[in-house]
Structure 1
Amino acid sequence: MRWLLFLFCMWPCFAVAQGAATLVADSVVLTEDKQLVASGNVEVLYEGTKLTATAITYDQPSDRLVIDGPIVIKAADGTLLVADKADLDPRLQNGMLLGARLVLDQQLQLAANQIDRREGRFSQLYRTAATSCQVCGEGPPLWDIRAERVVHDAEEKQLYFDNAIVRIKGLPVFWLPRMRLPDPTLDRANGFLIPSQETNTQLGVGIRLPYFVTLGDSRDVTLTPYLSEKTRTLELIYRQAFTNGNLRLQGAASRDTLEEGLRTYLFANGNFNLPQDVALRFDIETVSDPSYLSDYNYSSKDRIDSAVSIIRVKQNSLLQANLTYYQTLRDDETNSTLPPIVAELGYEQRLRPAIGGITHVEAGLDLSYRFSDLDGVRGRDVVRAGVASGWENSWVLPGGILASAQTGARLDAYWVADDAAFSDERLRVVPNAAVALRWPWAMTTATGVTHVIEPVVQAAASTALGGTPPNEDSTRNEFDSGNLLALSRFAGDDAVETGTQAAYGVSWTRYGNEGASSRLAFGRVVRDSSETDFTPSSGLSGSFSDWLIAGQIRTPDGFSFDAYALLDDTGEATRAASLIGWESRDLSLATAYIWQAADPIEEREETLSEWTVDAGAKITQAWSLTADGRYNVAQDRPVSAALGLRWRNECVTIDVSASRRYSSSTNVEPTTTYGISGSLTGFSVGRSQSGPAAPCRN
């Protein structure tokens, strides 16, 4: 009968300051020569470590444990040690194990003829084979490292190899006299990261070899030399964590054959939480020349911006301040006329008055500044200061009709410079009011399907008293489901809708009994007079807006469909967009299409028609494929395309990629890039993601 015998603290050899070990065995005998012999299904538990063996003999005079295998020692951190025989001290800190195998983090296994334990920290393995691949019988694994000696430092979590030979399917590939690698349980360590090879039609064949450096527990830097026949580049990523935020810097410096001189870029961003619920956000973006980011595939931006913002959000108030500097990389723009400097300061407070409803009060200050001295739009500088207040409330009327009302007014003061078309100072007051009615109808069928039909109508009126300011922030406007019932559908504050208008629409929503849902909505705006400040392609110009049509489908198996269109009275579209997506365990697919009519006022001389696709598929347990592309249908030419292929098993990951960027810009040349990278599971910092193991065959 198996029984629980003792606490090891009954013997001085097993007593330790932290506690006692527990021994369980089928049989325990205390001999006359002071040997404790436990045999049969022996288990020892001590501070999260579990040892199982066939027999354990403790010799009190020599204070040694002789353990007969098979021996399995599982530490609290997941480290697994297997051996045939062992001679250890009672605390398992020092000794020798024969025919042993060490498994780290259930990934990396090291098999050795002998393992010596020292100080409970160092394990010295002799005549060692290390691999994270599955080993089948006597055949060689996909890869392994043979070494005369391997030292595992359990405290520093490092592996040191002496006279190491890296083999692939048993074939020696290269030899190193000394090698240091992190074990898979390590979170951060100095050392080389996964290298990658890249072939670029502009830069030639190159290689990236990143090196990671820890600068304490809260800082690190990654230095990546990128070398090819046409460039010498050093890339840098610096990260630092603070108690109240974080900082990240990413940049590079290059000397190449594409441009003369030193080419550089720097992107920096930070997020910090300050006292009084204030959040500080900033980012800095700078580049030496317009084509550097695209030449090296660092970014697809054609305008970069450096900004700093302060935000404080409370239950009923919002305070925010933003300062942004823009720099254009487009060949048809200049920084001086962009405008490059835009500043915003705003405050909003929400109140609940005694009469019911919600009152909101706003105050704001905006600035747009151009470096150019040209008279007119290309040199104009504008400052706006404004205040606004409004009240809104809603009621449920008989029959389930939901009524709402809102009213308010805003006052804006403008100061304009470098534009003779506008006086230096302008005041404008805009009062407004609106009422809306909704009448939702709902029905549930016998099969559990719910249908909801909701017609809506709104009547609104507003007027502008005073001068007409320049329009800086409302030059691009769109008509969509989100602003059908808005008092003003301009994107910013400079332009406002005036006059009397009505908006009406209807939506139908279906909720399936298995989680599927669909929605279809129509809407339109009617005015008492023609609106001329909207562009023709916005769908909002004239006395009658275009018809807004929007639809949506969602299914529980991952399919989604969204569509949106603006149609005039003849059925011609001014704008249209759609997005189809499907995501399952082995397949993800997203494709989008957008169409916009030509509109010279929006600086779009030709029709925009573009299609994009983004797909990923898991072909087998080991193979996966990704693809994405972008095609300009109007100009009948591709914009970009990329293809990626990954093979991954339990011990190796290999990525192969190819991409092509087509460009009509004089700043950016068409480029094709090929890349390959690989990694061995088991030596990564942190736990590596591993793929499926191939089954062993007899």
Structure 2
Amino acid sequence: MTRMFDRLIRLLAVLCVLAGPALAQDAPDADALPAMLVADAVFVEDGERLIATGNVEAFHDGVRMTAGRIVYDGTTDQLIIDGPIRIIDETGNILVATYAELDQGLQNGLLSGARMVLDQQLQVASVEARRVNGRFTQFSKVAVTSCLVCGQRKVPLWQIRASRVVHDQEERQLYFDNAQFRVLDVPIFYFPHLRLPDPTLPRARGFLFPTFTSSSLLGVGVKVPYFFPIGRHQDLTLTPYLASETRTMGFRYRRAFRSGDLTIHGALSSDTLMADPRGYLFAEGEFRVLQDYKLSFNLKGVSDDAYLNDYDISGADRLASNLSLTRVTADSFMDTSILNYQTLRDYEDNATQPRFIADYRREQRFFPSFGGEFRLGTDVHGHLRQSKRDTDGSDDDTEIDGRDVTRFNAEFSWRNRWTVASGLRVGLSTHLWADRYITEDDVTSDAEVSRAIPGVAIEFRYPLQRQGPRGGRTLLEPIVQLGWVGGERLKNPNDESTRVEFDEANLLSLSRFPAADRREHGTTVAAGLRWLHKAPGGWSAALTLGKVWRETAEPDFSLSSGLSDTASDLLIAGRFANPLGITLSARGLLDEDGLFSKAEARAGWSNTRMDLGASYLLLVTDSDEDRTQRQSEWTFDGRYQLTRNWSTSGEARYDLGDDRLDRVGLGLQYRNECIQVDLQATRNYASSTTLEPSTEFDLTVALTGFGADASGKEYRRTCSF
């Protein structure tokens, strides 16, 4: 009996592996893995039949099987199991049957009244199932669904009926013969043969769920993606888009490398909007190379200015392509990059824009024995325009036609900080800049200019901190900086520093220009006040005030920069957050008349049920920044979970200057354990002469339960009786 019992245990171990619906591809060695059989009674009949009855349970390698009775015939190595049979593997897959009979070697057998649940999602119910070659399970007269079915007379929202379904345990695929797709038990589609992945397979070749679209520009159409896995580390998705006004083939290629990843996506279209073929191509990647260097690129190209808008791919009005190599360590930074810009704006010409840009930046820190920190920085920059016409300033059309610029900048600085009596913090920094500028195709500027100028800054901070009796903390820190930069303005063009932002980050900078083609000169005084508070109830707030005074006005600062006069506008920046998920942030420049010359604000409210946000932007009229009229706009975006299954989303952008909507979008989503429906409606109100207003409707219906990315476990309902 002991010998027969050992053989039964080994066979049960193999049975648990073979009968498990979605286990490993290769069955493990049963002798190497322990198994256990528990039953109310175990006895031997005629010396060759071992019978276990009453609450029979078998355990092996995370798999559990329960049955009413197990009979093992030692002469034929045949196993007969009476139900109810239930097998659960460690991943949650379930196989239920009323009767099972497996032949010699347990590679083939019959299971009556079989029902399989894959990954706690997909249910396969059949009259009977057969195990074939230890790999395939053949189901006869099958119903497949991932919807919850409650009661005897209830029907699932959707199901697939088939005369036969074969589950390939090794490839994790389901093959259907004579399949009917039914909605509420009403036949909708018929497929003589159909292949679908089981839920445990994350990357399966085949069609993805389609998206039905309606566009005022392109008409009614459908997008049907097809996914090609190429080995374990790369894949290709082709997306044909057929509509009344277009024939488009989109694609996306992805590949993962040991040191990085690559993504290429694009599309080629033939439509009625233009006579010639149209399309776009984007490529991006990031790779780790030797000695902590990171190589990254983001390449973008499009056939015409309106394509991205017409096909609702992107709202960008300029495309920036770049290739960069970067290395960051504790004491050094290096970045070298090549950039190319393609403008899509109707009032800009690519020939007169600085399209080709090269940059090299490096900064190194040293810590000398006498204290403080020494920094050495270098910056090499050059940009070219396609146009070769000299800039002569005679009319607006030729002011920057062909100007090409190269500059070399180096900075040597030493800085240190001390704490003196009463907690006063004193900081000192000294600087030496060496600059050289080369300008071509611009008769209004000197061809070559060079200089070396010094600079020094001393700052005082007096941090005051208070801790309340209940744990709240408050910090109040007044800041004053006195700075001086020698030299004077050179006769080189201002090509990179035409847009200046005055904010908390550069309040104490000796030059607030964004690039080194311009520097501030003379004596400046900067003063600020920083306030931080964290309450014991969890809310926090911060406020920063700042202002700059200079000896003489800097003419290269634009009006809206807030720095054009000898006394700057008042910088105000604040933020607030509380445990309820409410966040507020705002920044603005308040001029001497008490009006904002530039402002931005963002308010948000986020919790488990909703995520709402609103943004405001204000820019005054400024000819130096090519802004002929005041710009102000509101932007709204949000998501709200109406119920457990229903959610909605929306977005809107309203231009207060033109008193019109720029964009509005609404979305509605329904999701349960077996289906996901997404409806999106978007209206773009284009103001450009190259763009047309458009209205888009997108509908996507996805059946969850096929493929690992389509899980609906978190939306599973329960039956109420």
| TM-score normalized with structure 2 length | 0.94
Q: Tell me which of 110, 113, 135 is aligned to 1:121.
A: 135
Alignment of 1:20-59 (within 5 A): 20-59=34-73
Structure 1 residue 286 displacement after superposition:
1.2
The whole-number CA distance in structure 2 between the counterparts of 1:397 and 1:5 is: 88
Q: Tell me which of 256, 270, 273 is aligned to 1:258.
A: 273
Q: Tell me which of 487, 507, 516 is aligned to 1:484.
A: 507
Q: Could you tell me which residue of structure 1 aligns to residue 351 of structure 2? A: 336
**Runs of 4 or more above 6 Å deviation:** 4-7
Q: Could you tell me which residue of structure 1 aligns to residue 565 of structure 2? A: 542
Structure 2 residue 426 is matched with structure 1 residue 403: yes
Q: Structure 1 residues 624-633 or 340-349, which shifts more?
A: 340-349
- Secondary structure of the residue aligned to 1:436 is strand
Structure 1 residue 374 displacement after superposition:
2.2
**C-alpha spacing 1:395/1:22, structure 2 compared with 1 (3 Å):** same
**C-alpha spacing 1:325/1:11, structure 2 compared with 1 (3 Å):** closer
- Secondary structure of the residue aligned to 1:293 is helix
Q: Which amino acid aligns with 1:197?
A: F
Q: Which amino acid aligns with 2:435?
A: D
Q: Could you tell me which residue of structure 1 aligns to residue 492 of structure 2? A: 469
Q: Could you tell me which residue of structure 2 aligns to residue 111 of structure 1? A: 125
Q: Tell me, which stretches of 5 or more residues in structure 1 are unaligned?
A: none
Q: Tell me which of 414, 424, 431 is aligned to 2:437.
A: 414
Q: Tell me which of 239, 253, 276 is aligned to 2:291.
A: 276
Structure 1 residue 466 displacement after superposition:
7.8
Residues 7 and 23 in structure 1, CA contact (< 8 A), matched pair in contact too: no
The whole-number CA distance in structure 1 between the counterparts of 2:471 and 2:717 is: 46
The whole-number CA distance in structure 1 between the counterparts of 2:496 and 2:370 is: 35
The whole-number CA distance in structure 1 between the counterparts of 2:180 and 2:386 is: 64
Structure 1 residue 305 displacement after superposition:
2.2
Q: Tell me which of 619, 629, 638 is aligned to 1:596.
A: 619
**C-alpha spacing 1:189/1:12, structure 2 compared with 1 (3 Å):** closer
Residues 10 and 35 in structure 2, CA contact (< 8 A), matched pair in contact too: no
The whole-number CA distance in structure 1 between the counterparts of 2:523 and 2:3 is: 93
1:246-265 alpha-carbon deviations (Å, 9 max, x no partner): 11111111111000111121
Q: Tell me which of 192, 204, 219 is aligned to 1:177.
A: 192
The whole-number CA distance in structure 2 between the counterparts of 1:189 and 1:693 is: 24
1:6-59 alpha-carbon deviations (Å, 9 max, x no partner): 973587766934334211222211223421111222211223322111221111
Structure 1 residue 401 displacement after superposition:
1.4
Q: Could you tell me which residue of structure 1 aligns to residue 303 of structure 2? A: 288
Q: Which amino acid aligns with 1:501?
A: T
Q: Tell me which of 6, 21, 34 is aligned to 1:8.
A: 6
Structure 2 residue 529 is matched with structure 1 residue 494: no
Residues 680 and 699 in structure 2, CA contact (< 8 A), matched pair in contact too: yes
Q: Could you tell me which residue of structure 1 aligns to residue 19 of structure 2? A: none
Structure 1 residue 500 displacement after superposition:
0.7
Residues 434 and 487 in structure 1, CA contact (< 8 A), matched pair in contact too: yes
Q: Could you tell me which residue of structure 2 aligns to residue 299 of structure 1? A: 314
Q: Which amino acid aligns with 2:263?
A: R
- Secondary structure of the residue aligned to 2:291 is coil
Residues 420 and 426 in structure 2, CA contact (< 8 A), matched pair in contact too: yes
Matched residue pairs, number? 695
Q: Structure 1 residues 113-122 or 617-626, which shifts more?
A: 113-122
Q: Which amino acid aligns with 1:336?
A: A
Structure 2 residue 532 is matched with structure 1 residue 518: no
Structure 2 residue 591 is matched with structure 1 residue 568: yes
Residues 8 and 22 in structure 1, CA contact (< 8 A), matched pair in contact too: no
Structure 1 residue 689 displacement after superposition:
3.7
Q: Could you tell me which residue of structure 2 aligns to residue 196 of structure 1? A: 211
The whole-number CA distance in structure 2 between the counterparts of 1:201 and 1:155 is: 47
Q: Could you tell me which residue of structure 1 aligns to residue 84 of structure 2? A: 70
- Secondary structure of the residue aligned to 1:276 is helix
- Secondary structure of the residue aligned to 1:530 is coil
Structure 1 residue 340 displacement after superposition:
0.8
1:389-421 alpha-carbon deviations (Å, 9 max, x no partner): 101111111211111111111101111111112
- Secondary structure of the residue aligned to 2:597 is strand
Q: Could you tell me which residue of structure 2 aligns to residue 460 of structure 1? A: 483
Residues 184 and 684 in structure 1, CA contact (< 8 A), matched pair in contact too: yes
- Secondary structure of the residue aligned to 2:688 is coil
Residues 532 and 541 in structure 1, CA contact (< 8 A), matched pair in contact too: yes
Q: Which amino acid aligns with 1:237?
A: R
**C-alpha spacing 1:228/1:293, structure 2 compared with 1 (3 Å):** same
Residues 76 and 104 in structure 2, CA contact (< 8 A), matched pair in contact too: no
The whole-number CA distance in structure 1 between the counterparts of 2:627 and 2:477 is: 37
1:522-560 alpha-carbon deviations (Å, 9 max, x no partner): 110011222222111101111100011111101122110
Q: Could you tell me which residue of structure 1 aligns to residue 16 of structure 2? A: none
The whole-number CA distance in structure 2 between the counterparts of 1:444 and 1:684 is: 55
Q: Which amino acid aligns with 2:562?
A: G
Structure 2 residue 151 is matched with structure 1 residue 137: yes
Q: Could you tell me which residue of structure 1 aligns to residue 403 of structure 2? A: 380
Q: Could you tell me which residue of structure 2 aligns to residue 166 of structure 1? A: 181
Q: Which amino acid aligns with 1:103?
A: V
- Secondary structure of the residue aligned to 2:469 is coil
**C-alpha spacing 1:667/1:241, structure 2 compared with 1 (3 Å):** same
**C-alpha spacing 1:19/1:685, structure 2 compared with 1 (3 Å):** closer
Structure 2 residue 87 is matched with structure 1 residue 85: no
Q: Could you tell me which residue of structure 1 aligns to residue 664 of structure 2? A: 641
The whole-number CA distance in structure 1 between the counterparts of 2:342 and 2:10 is: 76
The whole-number CA distance in structure 2 between the counterparts of 1:80 and 1:161 is: 20
Q: Could you tell me which residue of structure 2 aligns to residue 219 of structure 1? A: 234
1:337-385 alpha-carbon deviations (Å, 9 max, x no partner): 1111111012111111111111110112110111112222321111111
The whole-number CA distance in structure 1 between the counterparts of 2:187 and 2:710 is: 27
Residues 324 and 341 in structure 1, CA contact (< 8 A), matched pair in contact too: yes
Structure 1 residue 597 displacement after superposition:
0.8
Residues 185 and 686 in structure 1, CA contact (< 8 A), matched pair in contact too: no
Q: Which amino acid aligns with 1:493?
A: A
The whole-number CA distance in structure 2 between the counterparts of 1:184 and 1:29 is: 41
Residues 630 and 638 in structure 1, CA contact (< 8 A), matched pair in contact too: yes
**C-alpha spacing 1:13/1:158, structure 2 compared with 1 (3 Å):** closer
Residues 11 and 106 in structure 2, CA contact (< 8 A), matched pair in contact too: no
Residues 658 and 672 in structure 1, CA contact (< 8 A), matched pair in contact too: yes
Percent of residue pairs identical: 42
The whole-number CA distance in structure 1 between the counterparts of 2:410 and 2:592 is: 39
Residues 221 and 241 in structure 2, CA contact (< 8 A), matched pair in contact too: yes
**C-alpha spacing 1:91/1:351, structure 2 compared with 1 (3 Å):** farther
Q: Tell me which of 361, 365, 374 is aligned to 1:346.
A: 361
**C-alpha spacing 1:246/1:340, structure 2 compared with 1 (3 Å):** same
- Secondary structure of the residue aligned to 1:286 is strand
Residues 5 and 23 in structure 1, CA contact (< 8 A), matched pair in contact too: no
Q: Could you tell me which residue of structure 2 aligns to residue 393 of structure 1? A: 416
The whole-number CA distance in structure 1 between the counterparts of 2:106 and 2:645 is: 40
Residues 621 and 691 in structure 1, CA contact (< 8 A), matched pair in contact too: no
Residues 489 and 521 in structure 2, CA contact (< 8 A), matched pair in contact too: no
The whole-number CA distance in structure 2 between the counterparts of 1:49 and 1:258 is: 60
**C-alpha spacing 1:10/1:505, structure 2 compared with 1 (3 Å):** same
The whole-number CA distance in structure 2 between the counterparts of 1:48 and 1:24 is: 15
Residues 121 and 712 in structure 2, CA contact (< 8 A), matched pair in contact too: no
**C-alpha spacing 1:604/1:590, structure 2 compared with 1 (3 Å):** same
More strand by share: 1
**C-alpha spacing 1:689/1:483, structure 2 compared with 1 (3 Å):** farther
The whole-number CA distance in structure 2 between the counterparts of 1:94 and 1:52 is: 20
Q: Tell me which of 322, 336, 341 is aligned to 1:326.
A: 341
Structure 2 residue 120 is matched with structure 1 residue 97: no
Q: Tell me which of 190, 206, 222 is aligned to 2:221.
A: 206
Residues 409 and 516 in structure 2, CA contact (< 8 A), matched pair in contact too: no
